[in-house]
Amino acid sequence: MGLWDRLRRTLGDAGEKIGSAFGRGLAKTRHALVDPLEGLFRRRAAFDDDFFLELEEILIAADVGVKTSAWLVESLRADVRKKGLTTPEEVREALAARILEVFGDDESRFRLTFAPEGPTVILFVGVNGTGKTTTLGKLAYRLKGEGKRVLLAAGDTFRAGAIDQLRLWGERVGADVVAREEGADPAAVLYEAVDRAQREGYDVVLGDTAGRLHAKQHLMNELRKIVRVVGQKLPGAPHEVLLVLDGTTGQNGLRQAEVFLEAARVTGIAVTKLDGTARGGVVVTIQKELDIPVKLVGVGEGREDLLDFSPAAFVAGLFGEGEGRTP
């Protein structure tokens, strides 16, 4: 079975819808990556050194990252040689297959983890302005739609504005909010939220946290304390620590993330603002270099603009499968 058929099979009945949602979200990245690739196919008759050199430049420009791009190009070069690929279609498919290989075959790794019973606690961490609160709000909206009882915890107590923003999301999606005053101990807010969730039978607690990078040591201590306190209150929690990365910052965002990776056991990544960037290739780099699954992607400012990440949908969307085109 060819790659495109395999992707279709993985995505199943909802495939077309998922593929086109990813296709729309990745439109700018596709223009930066796949369109130049088509141009390259037209200009270069042979898959020679110049072809691979140009391909590497295209990948790097779409923020696939230097190391990952080099790996992709070398793998593709080997494919062309060993499998005797001669047509653009074959080479395009081999490249898509190599990108898919970076993510591995196990789609379940990319799904959010929920506690088998009792409340699930999901913490959102990341630099301010990356879209943490928005992503949390969108997820709350989705979970509410699934009939879950959702409690939001305003753990970014550094700014009154952040607390208000979370309250607003609570109103907008009909979720209850636990908040204290500005300057309160974030761990205490999270403790209170988990306690209330246990007593009152909430299904999910979504916890916001602060992301001030200039106070690095303080930030790390604060995060560690939150994770510790939540874990003591509810063994197994937090079930997810989601690092929110702004897709428009590409590789720079990855470097900023290191503080959070040091401070907490990050279980998944949410990449936001994919709709506004040609740097969606950063998703491939995150996988190759951090090996932490991307679980959610933001593709707009609306409350429905949140997608579950899926490697098959990502590759299908990237190569235009979801747009009703045959790749």
Which of 280, 298, 317, 327 is close enough to bind ligand GTP by CB under 6 A?
Answer: 298
Select 156 or 203, whichever has its Cβ closest to ligand GTP.
Answer: 156
Q: Does 299 bind ligand GTP (CB under 6 A)?
A: yes
3-state secondary structure of 177: strand
Nearer to ligand GTP, 93 or 156 (CB): 156
Binding segment (CB under 6 A) for ligand GTP, from list 41-49, 187-195, 224-232, 268-276:
268-276
Question: Which residues belong to the annotated binding site for GTP?
Answer: 126-133, 208-212, 272-275
Residue 14 or 160: the one with the smaller Cβ distance to ligand GTP is: 160
163 binds ligand GTP (CB under 6 A): no
Degrees, nearest 5: CA angle 25-28-33: 115
Candidate segments 1-9, 44-52, 125-133, 146-154, binder of ligand GTP by CB under 6 A: 125-133
CA distance readout (Å), 71 to 55, 82, 244, 248: 12, 16, 26, 23
Give the residue from 311, 270, 304, 294 showing the smallest Cα distance to 101.
311
Q: Are 307 and 25 spatial neighbours (Cβ–Cβ below 8 Å)?
A: yes
Q: Verify binding: residue 165, ligand GTP, rule CB under 6 A.
A: yes
CB contact at 8 A, 173 and 166: no
159 class by beta-carbon count within 10 Å (0-12 exposed, 13-18 middle, 19+ buried): middle
Give residue number: closest CB to ligand GTP: 298
Using CB under 6 A as the binding rule, whether residue 322 contacts ligand GTP is answered as no
> Which of residues 134 and 285 has its CB atom nearest to ligand GTP in the complex?
134
Residues for the chain: how many in total?
A: 327
**Binding-site size, ligand GTP (CB under 6 A):** 20
Least separation in angstroms between CB 86 and ligand GTP: 40
Q: Which one of residues 19, 119, 131, 280 is an interface residue with ligand GTP (CB under 6 A)?
A: 131
Q: Which residues contact 238 (CB under 8 A, 6 or more apart)?
A: 121, 122, 123, 207, 227, 230, 231
**Is 222 among the residues that bind ligand GTP (CB under 6 A)?**
no
Cβ 254 to ligand GTP shortest distance, Å: 16
Query: In sequence order, what are the residues at sequence separation of 6 or more whose Cβ sits closer than 8 angstroms to the Cβ of residue 317?
Result: 19, 20, 21, 22, 23, 24, 25, 26, 30
Two structure tokens written together for 108: 């379940």
Q: What residues make contact with ligand GTP under the rule CB under 6 A?
A: 128-134, 156, 162, 165, 211, 272-273, 275-276, 298-301, 305
